[in-house]
Structure 1
Amino acid sequence: MFDTLSSDWLWGLAGGLLIGTGGAVFLLANGRIMGASGILGGLIDGSGRSNWGERVAFLLGVFALPLLLLPATGAVDTHATTNLPILIAAGLCVGIGTRMANGCTSGHGVCGMSRLSLRGIVATVFYILAGGLTVALFRHLLGVI
């Protein structure tokens, strides 16, 4: 739909606005921080039984919205690798990392930093550094992504 070179930043802007708006709405409506890993983790470990409906609705929205927008926007190239084992390993590492950090990019990065949370700022700095080092290692030194 859009010329790729001139619109890549628009996709980032639109995604950022949607995530930020979602975080604000979740906080205003529920009084809790919108951390995707915590929402999903509460369903998996059973700690979120008391509000499982809102957790499921949130996750359905996360997966359904891109599918609903697909006819209007067309496919968007994420520039992710097509190497399935690498994608699976990366997803598992992200899942383990979010549990170790007690949160994810939406909880610490978007909601935590916007509230000037020291814990959120420190976590965000470390996972951005770890992500940059991981890309440098796996793309530039090992050549697997």
Structure 2
Amino acid sequence: MTIILNPAMLADSLAGGAVIGTASAGLLLVNGRIAGISGIFARATKPDATLWQWAFLAGLLAAGAGAALAGYPLPADITKQSLPLLALAGLLTGVGTRLGGGCTSGHGVCGLARLSPRSLAAVLVFMGVAGLTVFVRRHVL
């Protein structure tokens, strides 16, 4: 398989990474909280949820809606999958984040930046499982 680097795509990826890093650092500096999406979602669904948790989640949805309105297409791999398969993948991801004590944003973005050994172990596990899942999906099933 040949990988072709698209300069516009690379610029978008770098800009997106910079925004994610800035937002994560901002949340930590302003609120003293880690930008772990699964943890924020779990706390937002409890009776003592705070406004910033709901605002953070609304911002995630608004970013996706804004990208769609700006004409950014969904990744082709997503549009080729069935809705039940995507729902199952989302459910399994949610279960995995609870079992692993955090998600890719909490461990991968924030934890690695803080040089957390626990986050490094979590990232190695979930990236390894993700790679194995893609391999099995593409070559076995």
**What TM-score comes out, normalization by structure 2 length?**
0.87
1:52-83 deviations in Å (ceiling 9; x for gaps): 211000000011023234444x1223132331
Identity rate of aligned residues, in percent?
Answer: 42
**How many corresponding residue pairs?**
135
Output the amino acid matched with 2:128: L
1:94 aligns with 2:93: yes
Show the counterpart of 2:136.
137
TM-score of the pair, normalised by structure 1: 0.84
Q: After alignment, is 5-14 or 31-40 more displaced?
A: 5-14
> What runs of 5+ residues in structure 1 fail to find an aligned partner?
none
Shift, 1:85, TM fit: 1.2
Residue equivalent to 1:127 = 126
The equivalent residue for 2:73 is 76
Supply the RMSD in Å over aligned alpha carbons: 1.7
Q: Which amino acid aligns with 2:40?
A: I
Q: Deviations over 1:101-130 (max 9, x none)?
A: 111111000000000000111101110001
Which residue number in structure 1 is paired with residue 18 of structure 2? 17
Shift of 1:141: 1.3
Deviates more, 1:63-72 or 1:96-105: 63-72
User: Counterpart amino acid of 2:58?
Assistant: L
Q: Distance in 2 between matches of 1:69 and 1:141?
A: 34
**3-state DSSP of counterpart to 1:75:** coil
Aligned to 1:36: 37
